[in-house]
Amino acid sequence: MAPPLIDHLSEDAIARLVDEFYTRIRADAALGPVFERAIPGDWGPHLATMRNFWSSVMLTSGRYMGNPVAAHSRVAGIEIGMFDHWLALFEATCRDLFEPGIAVEFQTKAVRIAGSLKLSLFYRPDRPWPPDRLKGVTPA
């Protein structure tokens, strides 16, 4: 029998999400190799950073002090379509762990963050932006 769904936001809930999500990432055929190249060896610091990131996003704790665009721009082999795959895996993890309202809160934030990263990393004014790449991107 599955454990009950988490019904409130907390640091513990965020830690559980981060740990479960990155377990799934590492097992994923498409994303796992990209993450393994980007994070060889000890995943502890990355998981701690992601706990701080999601704590800042969801609980406004202010614990995250990084630069997601700079971090992602250093990742070899990253492609725009990977963000949609990442989102699907993240959304599935949220649905598996949280009551629906909380899962939607995480998903809404994740879609906006992914959209912002896609624009920052891949948009160029001299190239057309395909409509299928607009998931999570809101016009200015």
Pick from 80, 89, 17: nearest CA to 54: 17
Token pair 């190239």: residue: 127
pLDDT values of the chain reduced to their tens digit, one per residue, 140 residues: 777 899 999 999 999 999 999 999 999 999 999 999 999 999 999 999 999 999 999 999 999 999 999 999 898 888 888 999 999 999 999 999 999 999 999 999 999 999 999 988 888 777 766 665 555 555 44
One of 1.10.490.10, 3.40.50.720, 2.60.60.20, 3.30.70.920 is the CATH number of 11-133, namely: 1.10.490.10
pLDDT value for 129:
64
**DSSP annotation string for 83-127:** HHHHHHHHHHHHHHHB-HHHHHHHHHHHHHHHHHHHHHHH--TTS
Token pair 């999500």: residue: 21
pLDDT value for 135:
54
d(CA 89, CA 35): 14
pLDDT value for 2:
74
pLDDT value for 139:
46
79-105 b/e (C-beta count within 10 Å ≥ 16 → b): eeebbbebbebbbebbeebbeeebbee
